[in-house]
Amino acid sequence: MLDMKFLRTNPDVVKENIKKKFQDEKLPLVDEVIELDKQFRNAKQKGDELRAQVKKKSKATGAIIGKLKKQGLTDEEAQKTAKDDPAFQAIMAEIAPINEEINALELKEAELEQQIKKIMMIIPNIIDPSVPIGKDDSENVEIEKFGEPFTPDFEIPYHVDIMEKLNGIDLDSARKTSGNGFYYLCGDIARLHSSILSYARDFMINRGFTYYIPPFMIRSDVVTGVMSFAEMEGMMYKIEGEDLYLIGTSEHSMIGKFIDTILPEENLPQTLTSYSPCFRKEVGAHGIEERGVYRIHQFEKQEMIVVCKPEDSMAWFDKLWQNSVDFFRTLDIPVRTLECCSGDLADLKVKSLDVEAWSPRQQKYFEVGSCSNLGDAQARRLGIRVRKEDGTKYFAHTLNNTVVAPPRMLIAFLENNLNADGSIRIPEALRPYMGGMEVISVPVK
């Protein structure tokens, strides 16, 4: 959410930013919210003037009561007696309509404030100047490749076929219990899944991040603080009858942890890594896979989150995506970084970069993680402020990035570590988490 003062003084900058995001339908909102803000400030100014009048007149009534108290009356007796005083009555008669006008103005202020907030939640954040301009994800820009894409001299089966050959997945039973978009992982594949998450946890701890397991449900004020309404509608599952939502990623809980807090500047940056299950509707054009684990309703993820000073956020952005690249390379998976263009950025984001893994079977890269700098947008919505040594306050910057999100990541892992006989190589970094296992062998029938 933008600063209203910034929008008021830089409407053309905000409009140009909207155009860069190809959201021209939102252009009229800028002038609309400026007019509402003008009405709000006028109402507040008028209310303040009237309150000053009431305060001044109240001093006169106070003087009358004070005079009576000096005559020996108690405070209660003085107030009761004053009511019969013509001068007191005249002043109160003047105050009554002013108070009525103040009440009406306060109601108007509250209504205007809600209208302003509603619009400001829709107007997109100002993107970083380095963001490439493009309409959608087809215009995202490749930045760099890490590791050489490799294609073996044997055919690589579909990832579900690989796992089924290893007795590692049961989609049919999951459809019976839960429907499409769910799965049972079994045996060594289930162990591999858990091992990858454990390795990711330790990988981030070794890089100085504090490990968290957060709540898996959050209230609506946190949901609307961490994401846009459009994202919420397409992602979040609501708990019926309660003000609770299942999280789509632990970023939601972890940023929400700081709601309505004032952080001493010396306590920044906050560098956190969190594990959670994730639940997503996956509403939209892509839909849920009937046979696969790439787009599903339930998965697990290790996340990284940073809360920092504004001047440090871009440096942290580069550190975060580099963590993901380094993690995948230790597992012998080639990756590339892809910068999201303006039209592919969610409205709260200043800059975003996807990490994509190489798929030997498909002969292309696919997304396995996303790194985002949200500037102070989430902090403004959630009230996350920083106090400097001199006592002044400002809004923090927040960032998040995926460390790893199996089972989607398992697709890349299995394809890049597959042997011709259907067995799976275990990279050295992961072996301690797999009990020393070097290969997942195909079961003998």
216 CB-near residues (< 8 Å, 6+ apart): 246, 247, 253, 276, 277
| In the chain, domain spans | 4-120, 137-440
Looking at residue 150, what is its pLDDT?
A: 87
CB 404 within 8 A of CB 357: no
Task: List, run by run, the mean pLDDT of 10-residue segments along the chain (445 residues).
Answer: 94 98 97 97 96 91 89 88 88 92 96 95 95 96 95 93 95 92 94 97 98 96 82 83 93 95 98 95 63 86 97 98 97 96 95 97 94 96 96 97 92 96 96 97 87
Q: Which residue has the tokens 């490799």?
A: 150
φ, ψ (nearest 5 deg) of residue 298: -140, 130
pLDDT of 405 reads 93
Strand order from edge to edge, sheet including 384-387: 261-264, 384-387, 393-395
Q: What separation in angstroms does the CA of 222 have from each of 208, 243, 282, 352? A: 26, 11, 20, 21
Cis peptide before 360 (omega within 30 of 0): no
> Class for domain 4-120, per CATH?
mainly alpha
φ, ψ (nearest 5 deg) of residue 435:
65, 30
Dig out the tokens for 177 from the structure. Answer: 């219990």
Q: Which DSSP string corresponds to 163-212?
A: HHHTT-EEHHHHHHHT-TT--EE-HHHHHHHHHHHHHHHHHHHTTTPEEE
* Angle of CA points 86, 92, 98, to nearest 5°: 150
Residue 282 confidence (pLDDT): 75
Query: What pLDDT shows up at residue 1?
Result: 86
Looking at residue 281, its pLDDT comes to 87
Question: What per-residue confidence (pLDDT) applies to 234?
Answer: 74
Residue 290, pLDDT score: 66
Q: Which pLDDT belongs to residue 181?
A: 87
Give the right CATH number for 137-440 from 3.30.360.10, 3.60.21.10, 3.40.190.150, 3.30.930.10. Answer: 3.30.930.10
Q: Which of 241, 198, 248, 200 is nearest to 223 (CA)?
A: 248
- pLDDT score recorded for residue 287: 58
Separation between Cα atoms, residue 228 and residue 235, nearest integer Å: 11
